[in-house]
Structure 1
């Protein structure tokens, strides 16, 4: 449950951003590990060190199409005085019984095929006549005139050093090497490595299942006709996309009308597929703030310790927030304000870290940096509030985008950073160095 339930802060306590985030991260615990198939584990965090059971490559193999030769047989070879070798057959990738290359012999070999016993190097087909006679094979001749079967003799026009064009066994990783460390996020390259060393499943913390729902009788779904006083529901789309971007499996629930019983029923229906619930809207002090009405007493009787705490934060935008747990499994719930910018900024500051904590990641925060403020006039900020302004960041400089209004979705779409103005700063002059949260 939220540690806020044990605090004697009172309804008028003004929480800091750091206090609220600390409360969330102290409550949210990483999900229990499970064994998953490789492709199902994409985006998940390893909970075990992976040791290599088989070397890569598992045998010496050719890095070129060409001929497997003994070094002494091609020593001093040139176009004027080529080495003439007897071709004893083909060596293809995946071939079972290997040929043995003896003195004066060679085997035609394909890329990735095992180096046959007796051979010490590979000469590329372009260094030979391809068994056709008449000089080195080049261009279209290399691709279209090579013989269908390796028979007879081949002329080799260049010498080769030992191990030339040979990929050594274990040159990538060796048996017993550490392939991946616990805590690694599995992307395509990591999954490729696991498959290459023969791992079909892996033990990971699963991607969190996040259910996002917006509230408000005025909300209409995109592609529907707007009526008087109605607006399109953008928050649930923005937050679902943001949850997926953070690494979650996210489910969007259509807007719920301003009815406490309907909202409670909807949330209860979603608990079966949620590791985290996110609502947006209905958390301030209006007469129709149904999230507070629906959730303020949830769990007080049926689920010991569960409940949602609604609080005010010393920040702009995003002053009204709610956090706690719900249901018999104490599923964390974050209730965000309804204004689009407030909702998105709140997600980045609080929900994204919660998702990353559920994944078991050590670093749950967006990267931050310092940047020079480039603007025509000073920025103003309310005293006692930590303000997060939208901006664009490039080459150590950040430029504000749009104003401070929490409804400015178009400006938000242009931003790739948040400009942080501390609580004790009321004005920031152009050229001042400021803290910046990088969003992408």
Structure 2
């Protein structure tokens, strides 16, 4: 097993997801001048979803992706399809908005899961989707916090969740690591790259002009903006910015005023060698996806071919951890000691984007530039929904867009170097608290 490090973009590219799919031939890069209604920047869930929705409403759409569809976080994440915005994101929305608006935001996340399932059926996307999700507490203190979150979620959002004490957990997961857990039968997991590629194909079939290997170098604003690449340009009525932390890697950031409101966080995964089906079923009988509720968390699930896919070791200084395989093996055996002798076949990772308050950041710059960013680890479900929200707003219905655009987001202090150092110190502080 070899890990390929793309130092320019800070990603480890030996991905199980890439190895287990057959990509279509790449779309040609943009090498001409185009005039369209909407130009979408970014070929992940949000950008492709927005382009797909707009094309279905009769808009002429061009989509520019710097690498390949699903190359970034949309094609290398944990595959966990989770409703809501995480405890921190939900708390931020509740603190800033009325209970009615917070409930509306929650309901939109549920709609995002329904939208995902509808698209899988409508476009015949086979991505190994199944329901079932566990949130796990590593000690009694974390268990109390988890139970408080569960009770608040049930009370405020009437969302069904099941409490699992240490004994009840045994029917879900073969480990003594956790003190308690919560089972969510609505959330689930899937193969994230297959899902994104399926959306990309649906967008192409709907008439979206997709250009891969077409990094945006500059955005010229105006009544009719112009989005420029190395070899072409797109003039349009509206622009949608959905490139997250990879924007600005190949030229000017198209919207520098929002750049400091997200921070790149490295997250890394491994895939074990295939387990026997009997052993896999013994390990996680219900085959639910799982994560703990630490700030710097472990997350894991079984693949369709019986591998354990395990993510951990987030890096807040935008560098790949040293001895990645050994560190990840230690994390795995901390949860599943019975896997000490199991081989690791793949290791990969890259950046996700987080906001300071962990709530998603949707907005508009001027009259004709829309953006979405900051999914903070909850993008598999909500990013697809966010694309639809932006498409709705462009088509004239901004009611849901207005719910999220009113959430305030602070800038991470200082320039890139300073805010990274500050975040690293903060994460070490919280990690030390959790260890103690």
Q: TM class, shorter-chain normalised?
A: under 0.3
Q: TM-score, normalised by structure 1?
A: 0.21
The structure where helix makes up a greater share of residues is 2
Q: TM-score, normalised by structure 2?
A: 0.21
